[in-house]
Structure 1
Amino acid sequence: MKLVRYGAVGTEKPGLIDSAGALRDLSSVIHDIDAKALGHEGLARLANVDPRQLPQVEGQPRYGTPVAHVGKMICVGMNYAEHAAETNAPVPQMPVIFMKATSAIVGPNDDVIIPQGSTKTDWEVELGVVIGETARSVSEEEALSYVAGYLVVNDLSERDFQFEHGGQWVKGKSCDTFGPLGPWLVTADDVPDPQNLGLWLEVNGHRYQNGHTRTMIFSVAKLVSHISRYMTLQPGDVISTGTPAGVGLGQKPPIYLRDGDVIELGIEGLGQQRQQVHTHASSGNVTA
């Protein structure tokens, strides 16, 4: 299934994309795509719904983040060896984990705002993993059974804030609009192997990133297992699994986002995002 949330900021409704690509309204079935809906029971209930019996949504409404009320967003650094090399970082022996504030989360096509004082706002296409069941110290072998589904993430980063402003990376990762998610959540039953997905990103039509999840240093199963050792993973939590080579920081010389730029990115089978970059906030930009 492809689950979505659509509508104006703060009033998004649950929906799904049917086999013909049409948007169907799920409001008569569930209140929202949230922790309750993402568990095994909730997804089984949705799987039994006949999309043809749901109202079709006309027009082209805005898509919000496909998961409501994300509890925490956990990110993985340096999970592709070529990306570590382009940023002059060693290949990690264990997963590098940091947090992105949930206030950074926006819809897949909402504007990206360059924060005040920024000179090094950067892009990162990543595979996002959405947790469906509470996970504590789970084994690698059983880890994927705790996953509700997958989505596209743009893990935007301000490199000066990240590396030069002291403390942890969270400062450079958590600016408003730095976490576009979606356009939809593809449930795990429709993603047979999360390590077999191509991912890409372009800025102004130039392709900078063209990677594949098979080259991850730590697999999705390894990451879910590893992170669950240190914190309880709860339904609706999102893990962003790292980016392949091709970020702005890695260009020679480095290239960073500027007002008016257009970012387009996608992952095989998981859809595409498109964001316009601005240096000042626009109305209707931040999603619930």
Structure 2
Amino acid sequence: MTVAHTDGLTAPYALARYRDGDEVRLGLVAGDRIRPLGADDLGAPDLNAFLAAADWARLERLAADAADAAGGWMSLADVVLTAPVEPRQVLQAGANYREHVIQLVAAGLTQDGSRTPDEARAFAADMMDKRAAHGDPYFFIGLPACVVGDDVDLALPAYSAVHDWELELAIVIGAPAFRVSREDALGHVAGYTIVNDITTRDLVFRKDMKEIGTDWYRSKNAPGFLPTGPFLVPAPFVDVDSATVELKLNGETKQNGSTSDLLFGIAALISGASETMPLLPGDLLLTGSPAGNGQHWKRFLQNGDVMTGSITGLGTQTVACVAEQGAS
């Protein structure tokens, strides 16, 4: 499959990781070209160490020479990109798009006939506005082992037929963040990337003991359930206040939301997540997903499906779905 990763990538440069034989190398992307980055280029031993200080000026100088045949520059079309990050922790924000949550709450409130659709929507909207003003973000954790690039097909586990998509803007942590204020939180962002948070719907809630509630481990952490990338775009180049989050399934738009609809913005999410555990350089913090997932459309992922996800300024991610083979 030919993947036009740079569609929508507007930054003058970004980071990516690409396959070089059996190894994965870090690269600097400028336009339609990429060059390898070593410790001397980064001024740090590895990607996460670089992100701790995020000295983008070093890379800006290198990117200026992208047109030069020297310096190890290659055509981006000639390499296979994989996940651009190596997080030690993955945190995920739930129920964080206002319109999406209002739809879900209102649908539940109209089932018993006690409220009209307009009354249910007004009640849900008031609830969300109070939550945004006085509440806290809702977090759960994912497994870093689920982070893959879109060079890896999404194998749909055979134990369910209701695997779903949730395209999300993901924060990439820079300087360590522990109990930081909202006012200081953005200083801990290195950049942003795209993550599709795959969810097995019939495993979200426990059936054997409903009092336990949600089971995020089983519903969200199968192999490859966090397709990530293709680029890590420096924070200064991303307008996170009004970015469009769009997912197409086999060319048909299913999600088309805006980060302007976030109940809790980037600063609030970082501050809230860092209250419990230090966030480390390279960690991912997912911001939630807008309306339009498979549960809404009553259409779930199938063998042969292709998901194309894009977020303003971050490029394009294309994930092919295949039936799971040989699981035991």
CA 1:124–1:133: 2 relative to 1, 3 Å:
same
State which of 83, 86, 104 in structure 2 corresponds to 1:65.
Answer: 83
Cross-structure match for 1:148: 190
Query: What is the DSSP-based 3-state SS (H/G/I as helix, E as strand, rest coil) of the residue aligned with 2:182?
Result: coil
Cross-structure match for 1:120: 162
Query: What is the DSSP-based 3-state SS (H/G/I as helix, E as strand, rest coil) of the residue aligned with 2:268?
Result: helix
CA separation in 2, counterparts of 1:150 and 1:32? Answer: 21
* Residues 202 and 265, structure 1, Cα contact 8 Å, conserved in 2: yes
CA separation in 2, counterparts of 1:51 and 1:121? Answer: 43
State the Cα deviation string for residues 28-63 of structure 1 (Å, max 9, x = none): 624876210112254443334345253122443211
Larger radius of gyration: 2
Cross-structure match for 1:111: 153
CA separation in 1, counterparts of 2:45 and 2:153? Answer: 23
CA 1:50–1:124: 2 relative to 1, 3 Å:
closer
Tell me if 1:5 matches 2:51.
Answer: no
CA separation in 1, counterparts of 2:103 and 2:206? Answer: 18
CA separation in 2, counterparts of 1:71 and 1:9? Answer: 24
Cross-structure match for 1:39: 52
CA separation in 2, counterparts of 1:200 and 1:50? Answer: 28
Query: What is the DSSP-based 3-state SS (H/G/I as helix, E as strand, rest coil) of the residue aligned with 2:310?
Result: strand
CA separation in 2, counterparts of 1:204 and 1:67? Answer: 27
State which of 51, 55, 66 in structure 1 corresponds to 2:72.
Answer: 55
- CA RMSD for the aligned pairs? 2.2
State which of 249, 258, 267 in structure 1 corresponds to 2:302.
Answer: 258
CA separation in 2, counterparts of 1:269 and 1:174? Answer: 27
Q: Which amino acid aligns with 2:83?
A: T
Q: Which runs of 5+ in 2 are unaligned?
A: 1-12, 109-123
State the Cα deviation string for residues 207-237 of structure 1 (Å, max 9, x = none): 0100000110000111001111111111011
> Which shifted more, 91-100 or 36-45?
36-45
> Which shifted more, 83-92 or 172-181?
83-92
Q: Which runs of 5+ in 1 are unaligned?
A: 283-288
> Which shifted more, 211-220 or 99-108?
99-108
Q: TM-score, normalised by structure 2?
A: 0.78
The CA deviation at 1:163 is: 2.1
Q: Which amino acid aligns with 2:201?
A: R
Cross-structure match for 1:136: 178
The CA deviation at 1:82 is: 2.3
State the Cα deviation string for residues 154-204 of structure 1 (Å, max 9, x = none): 01111112224565323211111110111100011212x311211100111
CA 1:34–1:194: 2 relative to 1, 3 Å:
same
Tell me if 1:183 matches 2:196.
Answer: no
> Which shifted more, 6-15 or 141-150?
6-15
Q: TM-score, normalised by structure 1?
A: 0.89
Higher helix share: 2
Cross-structure match for 2:264: 218
* Residues 67 and 236, structure 1, Cα contact 8 Å, conserved in 2: yes
Query: What is the DSSP-based 3-state SS (H/G/I as helix, E as strand, rest coil) of the residue aligned with 2:245?
Result: strand
